[in-house]
């Protein structure tokens, strides 16, 4: 029996989101707990999974606040280390008129980059007790976190865990696109479940046809289950010779898209954990996509992500009202 349904490793940070202007006309930023891997775990907790996180924050006001928020969500923090020398990573998120986001990161260095292989070895029992291990590329932008990530992947895989990967590409954090593509390739080579956005498919393959690009990645790296997200247009799942598509839910109450991909990713991981990767039917995949699309739509109506993920009952009610 696995001790944890899902263990994730990566960045935990503060997303300062521009939500209003002061009376003097200055932008006002709200400090939201964030970081893709923990966002994913938060949603997984809400839909009935036992989770744990491995990462590092600063031993500062923001780091201690993040630890409390993560614990409040029910996520095990045995693997969350506090660094007394390097501050917690900060991201300033400016919403663009088209609904997209512009990121400015304060991370040279940030505490999340300081996670070491020694840290991972100290909590390797988390990895050895995981049903699914999830990671992204941002823990591979710099050393020592890159080495720590590779060790965690190897440890989890050796213990029989399913490996889940979401590239979560953020251009400002990479010294070169080439280095980012190399990290994406590493993830493709080792994962059993891939969640990838349309922009990332195009970046990696150079193909504007997202279905063809996702199929190319799936076949080249022999990935059992691939989920490609298409923003407000929905998503698709590629499994064996099947391509299953589901339209998204365009929500009139959308205020920002932060966390939508992470919410979808959590639902995809939950589906794979509960159903395995053998003999998945088209109907099951459609049900998964529909639930994940609905959950992602709900989170776009809220500020932030980690602390405000929808609960299973909310998603089911959303779907029943459609």
For residue 21, tell me if it sits in a domain. Answer: no
For residue 277, tell me if it sits in a domain. Answer: yes
CA distances from 172 to 66, 102, 106 (A): 23, 10, 10
Q: What is the CATH number of the domain that holds 41?
A: 3.40.1190.20
For residue 117, tell me if it sits in a domain. Answer: yes
CA 293 to CA 113: how far, in whole Å?
A: 31
Candidates 11, 4, 47; CA nearest to 265 is 47
Peptide bond into 225 cis (omega under 30): no
Length of the chain: 322
Which residues lie closer than 8 Å to 258 by C-beta, 6 or more apart? 15, 17, 32, 34, 93, 101, 299, 303, 304, 305
Q: What is the pLDDT of residue 233?
A: 94
Are the CB atoms for 294 and 315 separated by under 8 Å? yes
Q: What is the pLDDT of residue 96?
A: 67
CA 217 to CA 193: how far, in whole Å?
A: 12
Tokens of 23: 């009376």
Number of folded domains in the chain? 1
Strand stretches in 107-241, DSSP E: 130-136, 162-166, 193-197, 225-229, 235-239
CA 258 to CA 100: how far, in whole Å?
A: 9
For residue 247, tell me if it sits in a domain. Answer: yes
Which residues of the chain fall below pLDDT 50?
Answer: none
Which residues lie closer than 8 Å to 267 by C-beta, 6 or more apart? 43, 47, 288, 291, 292, 295, 296
Are the CB atoms for 80 and 55 separated by under 8 Å? yes
For residue 93, tell me if it sits in a domain. Answer: no
For residue 105, tell me if it sits in a domain. Answer: no
Q: What is the pLDDT of residue 98?
A: 57
Q: Taking the model in full, what pTM does it have?
A: 0.95
Tell me how far the alpha carbon of residue 170 is from its chain's centroid.
12
Q: What is the pLDDT of residue 225?
A: 98
Q: What is the pLDDT of residue 93?
A: 81
CA 233 to CA 14: how far, in whole Å?
A: 29
Residue 228 belongs to what domain range? 4-11+35-87+110-320
Q: What is the pLDDT of residue 272?
A: 98
Give Rg (Cα) of the chain.
18
CA 169 to CA 177: how far, in whole Å?
A: 10
For residue 104, tell me if it sits in a domain. Answer: no
CA 153 to CA 144: how far, in whole Å?
A: 15
């Amino acid at each position: 029996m696995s001790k944890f349904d899902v263990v994730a490793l990566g960045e935990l940070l503060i997303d300062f989101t521009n939500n209003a202007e002061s009376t003097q006309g200055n932008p006002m930023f709200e400090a939201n707990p964030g970081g893709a891997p923990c966002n994913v775990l938060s949603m997984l907790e809400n839909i009935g999974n036992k989770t744990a996180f491995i990462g590092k924050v600063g031993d500062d006001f923001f780091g201690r606040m993040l630890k409390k928020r993560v614990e409040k969500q029910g996520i095990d923090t045995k693997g969350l280390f506090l660094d007394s020398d390097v501050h917690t990573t900060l991201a300033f998120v400016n919403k663009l008129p088209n609904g997209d986001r512009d990121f400015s990161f304060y991370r040279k260095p940030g505490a999340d980059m300081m996670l070491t292989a020694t840290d991972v070895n100290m909590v390797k029992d988390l990895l050895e007790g995981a049903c699914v291990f999830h990671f992204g590329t941002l823990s591979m932008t710099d050393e020592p976190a890159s080495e720590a990530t590779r060790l965690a992947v190897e440890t989890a895989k050796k213990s029989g865990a399913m490996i889940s990967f979401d590239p979560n590409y953020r251009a400002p954090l990479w010294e070169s696109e080439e280095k980012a593509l190399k990290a994406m390739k590493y993830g493709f080579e080792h994962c059993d479940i891939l969640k990838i956005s349309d922009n990332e498919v195009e970046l990696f393959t150079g193909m504007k046809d997202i279905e063809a690009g996702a199929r190319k990645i799936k076949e080249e790296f022999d990935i059992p289950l691939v989920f490609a997200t298409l923003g407000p247009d929905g998503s698709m799942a590629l499994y064996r010779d099947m391509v299953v598509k589901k339209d998204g839910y365009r929500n009139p109450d959308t205020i920002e898209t932060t966390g939508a991909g992470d919410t979808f990713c959590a639902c995809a991981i939950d589906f794979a954990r509960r159903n395995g990767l053998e003999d998945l039917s088209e109907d099951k995949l459609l049900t998964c996509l529909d639930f994940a699309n609905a959950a992602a739509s709900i989170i776009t109506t809220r500020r932030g992500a980690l602390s405000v993920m929808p609960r299973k009952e909310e998603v089911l009610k959303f779907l029943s009202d459609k």
